[in-house]
């Protein structure tokens, strides 16, 4: 995958790109990242990239000219790949969206600053608008890094194991990941579950699935209506709810009665 990041502060990205998994992915040719300083395409002597908003209001608005010029100079007009605008008003970024965007061989991310973007950037340049959550940051650089990291780890070979993402939380079945353990088997009196030590793969797989269901039920029940649940999963959840009446205050009927896969 080739990623272009347009920002007023491209230097923010380099420290993160120069360590660990993303660094190896870049060195191995699995990921290419180009950062572009939007200010280089501002034509006035002060390299102005923002101005006051029409109609008044607080803050400054990013001007359309430098951003259009930057993106079109690099990617053509119209741009040859998806152009993602990082903005709190966009669709919420999640693992489904990550997999969707990771399928592209080339992608552009626009990081903003100040109060807002000129709306014409959203309407006539961006092909997608993504939000990483319902909160406001000082700029779009961290959201761009979050999106880039999520897309990069989905590229074949980046994690060194094509199966490494299959059991992640929010993976294809929509459940949270099961608990993970490593050595030592006992730490401060807390023991790794025996099922994970006995070498019985079938029992371990069953335990993992049950733990995924329990963790999602107790921590993120909002995910269950869209999760891929088998009849066996539904039976387990119903029994678990029966055995744990303290969860009865939550109405789970909406997903327990859904057609299962």
Catalytic residue among 69, 72, 115, 172: 115
**Given the structure tokens 């939380």, which residue do they identify?**
169
Instruction: Determine whether 115 is an active site residue.
Output: yes
CB atoms within 10 A of CB 89: 10
Catalytic residue among 53, 64, 82, 88: 88
Residue 189 CB-density burial (10 A; 0-12 exposed, 13-18 middle, 19+ buried): exposed
Catalytic residue among 37, 167, 168, 177: 168
CA–CA distances in Å: residue 198 to residues 22, 179, 195, 204: 35, 16, 6, 9
Instruction: Determine whether 88 is an active site residue.
Output: yes
Catalytic residue among 153, 173, 209, 233: 153
Instruction: Determine whether 168 is an active site residue.
Output: yes
Per the CB < 8 A criterion, the answer to whether 171 and 95 are in contact is: yes
Instruction: Determine whether 44 is an active site residue.
Output: no
Q: Which 8-state DSSP code applies to residue 112?
A: -
Pairing of the two strands 190-191 and 186-187: antiparallel
- Active site residues per annotation: 88, 115, 153, 168
């Amino acid at each position: 995958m080739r990623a272009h990041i347009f920002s007023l502060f491209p230097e923010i990205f380099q420290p993160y790109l120069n360590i660990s998994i993303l660094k190896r992915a870049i060195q191995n040719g699995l990921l290419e990242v180009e950062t572009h300083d939007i200010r280089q395409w501002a034509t006035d002597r002060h390299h102005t990239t923002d101005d006051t908003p029409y109609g008044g209001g607080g803050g400054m608005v990013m001007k359309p000219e430098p951003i259009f010029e930057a993106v079109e100079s690099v990617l053509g007009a119209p741009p040859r790949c998806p152009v993602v605008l990082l903005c709190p008003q966009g669709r919420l970024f999640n693992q489904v969206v990550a997999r969707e965007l990771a399928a592209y061989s080339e992608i552009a991310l626009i990081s903003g600053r100040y109060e807002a973007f000129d709306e014409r950037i959203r309407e006539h340049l961006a092909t997608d608008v993504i939000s990483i959550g319902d909160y406001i940051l000082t700029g779009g650089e961290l959201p761009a890094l979050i999106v880039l990291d999520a897309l990069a780890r989905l590229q074949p070979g980046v994690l060194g194991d094509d199966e490494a993402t299959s059991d992640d939380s929010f993976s294809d079945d929509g459940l949270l990941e099961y608990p993970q353990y490593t050595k030592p088997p006992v730490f401060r009196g807390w023991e790794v579950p025996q099922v994970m030590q006995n070498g019985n793969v079938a029992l371990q797989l069953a335990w993992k699935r049950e733990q995924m269901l329990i963790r999602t039920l107790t921590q993120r029940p909002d995910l269950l209506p869209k999760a891929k649940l088998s009849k066996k999963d539904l039976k387990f959840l119903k029994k678990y709810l029966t055995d744990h009446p303290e969860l009865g205050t939550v109405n789970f009927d909406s997903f327990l009665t859904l057609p299962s896969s």
